[in-house]
Structure 1
Amino acid sequence: MSSPDLEWDVLLSLLGGGFVAAFLHAALPTHWLPFVLVGRAQRWSLTRTLASVGAAGVAHIASTAVVGGLIVAAGLALDQWVAGILPNLSAILLFAFGTFYLIRAVVRRPAPLTADGPTLELSEPTVSHAAAFWGLVVMLAVSPGEVLLPIYMSSAQEGMVALSLLTLAFLAGTLLGMGLFTTLARAGASVLRLERWVRYEGAILGLALIGIGLLVVLHQH
């Protein structure tokens, strides 16, 4: 039987892994580039742009938590019929997602993105500020973070407290990643060459997910 200290160490590792996975997932261009482009088109201040980032990030994790909760509930019900299937299934999914991102990073050659993004003519905004704001929020609300769902499954046996903490770790990583890259891109931080990050973030995310999967497997033995 595992000691309480070991269980706590495993939980902290999963929370740390969840934070890293959420941060790397939030670094995908779809999670920050639209906010930069819409913010410029609407002539928003940085504060207003980051407000849309924050609202969209919360909506993104909320929808992820809802879907994750449903999957966990279904998995726990299934686990009563097939003992031990839930942790193994979560590890398989983590390996699968990690491998997918690694292969896509090798095969796919994304076009370079400059920190300044595409050139936009600063004409008058064509939509209202409210429509632009809520459009960005809905964009992420209807697309739960699929790569985060297996991590919910791997923590299902830890109880509601662990799942709640994991959701907070996802939220912190998501908001930090989205806010950081939005701010850097908006500031035109070309010296950081964000396009290089865009080129390699898939491989990094894939390795992180495989690492979390290995942690789940080791926890079972």
Structure 2
Amino acid sequence: MTSELIILLWSAASIGFVHTLLGPDHYLPFIVIGKAKDWGLSRTLGLTAICGIGHVLSSVIIGVLGILIGIQMQKLTWFEGVRGNLAAWGLIAFGLLYAIWGLRHYLKHKRKARHGHEHKSVSHATPWMLFIIFFLGPCEPLIPLLMYPAAHESAMAVILVTTIFGVVTVGTMLIAVWAASLGLSQIRFQKLQPLAHLLAGIIIFASGLSIQFLGL
């Protein structure tokens, strides 16, 4: 193992950790959705893991194809930027729509009413919408900072770098959601519970705005 590869592997771990921790969209949507829907921790973590894997895998697939076909890194970086822009706007739109639905839910039901056609459709659609948004959203540093430099080493180097980056990224997402969910479970929110969906939508909306306009 060359010194360059060792540096790349350490970089993959550190970039995956920092990139995830500094991006509130990597954990806040799952925390607030799980709390609003009164999910168990295992279900919340399950959705987090699936979305996290999809998030990393989409960039890995694009990066591998780019390396195999010989696409210039600048073009892939541009394409990943377009995907990131679409994902951020998708998160903004999802948060806004969910907040509007949450407000209607509060005004109509006042309590934890979980019946009716409209509520069921939103309940089933929410995880799928999050997965699509995360699958569309790129891991911006993965291709230019890790995959392309690793490709100059060997195919095994690309596999090692992407694996470490993916494991650290998803693992950090899970730890952040786990820690926050456990902390919130110790706090009673009875008075805010009727507004849980509205507040969740607002927080997701704000997360999307932070990504789109603050670059977090």
Provide the TM-score with structure 2 as the length reference: 0.59
Partner of 1:123: 112
Shift of 1:71: 3.0
Partner of residue 33 from structure 1, selected from 12, 28, 31: 28
RMSD: 2.9
Partner of 2:15: 21
Q: Structure 1's 127 and 14: CA in aligned 2 closer, same or farther, altered over 3 A?
A: farther
Query: 1:35·1:182 contact (CA, 8 Å) conserved in 2?
Result: yes
Partner of residue 149 from structure 1, selected from 139, 143, 157: 143
Superposed, 1:175-194 pairs within 5 Å as 175-188=170-183
AA aligned opposite 2:182: A
Q: Structure 1's 19 and 124: CA in aligned 2 closer, same or farther, altered over 3 A?
A: farther
Partner of residue 168 from structure 1, selected from 163, 170, 175: 163
AA aligned opposite 1:45: G
Superposed, 1:16-165 pairs within 5 Å as 16-27=10-21, 28-75=23-70, 123-124=112-113, 126-127=119-120, 129-150=123-144, 151-165=146-160
Cα separation, 2, equivalents of 1:56 and 1:186: 17
AA aligned opposite 1:123: K
Shift of 1:17: 0.9
Cα separation, 2, equivalents of 1:164 and 1:62: 12
Query: 1:35·1:52 contact (CA, 8 Å) conserved in 2?
Result: yes
Cα separation, 2, equivalents of 1:11 and 1:36: 36
Aligned residues: 147
Shift of 1:163: 0.9
Which is richer in helix? Answer: 2
Shift of 1:74: 4.8
Partner of 1:209: none
Shift of 1:124: 4.0
Q: Structure 1's 160 and 130: CA in aligned 2 closer, same or farther, altered over 3 A?
A: farther
Q: Structure 1's 18 and 127: CA in aligned 2 closer, same or farther, altered over 3 A?
A: farther
Shift of 1:64: 0.9
Cα separation, 1, equivalents of 2:113 and 2:17: 34
AA aligned opposite 1:176: G
Q: Structure 1's 164 and 187: CA in aligned 2 closer, same or farther, altered over 3 A?
A: same
Cα separation, 1, equivalents of 2:41 and 2:170: 15
Cα separation, 2, equivalents of 1:37 and 1:139: 16
- Percent of matched pairs sharing the same residue: 28
Unaligned 5+ residue runs, structure 2? 78-105, 185-206, 212-216
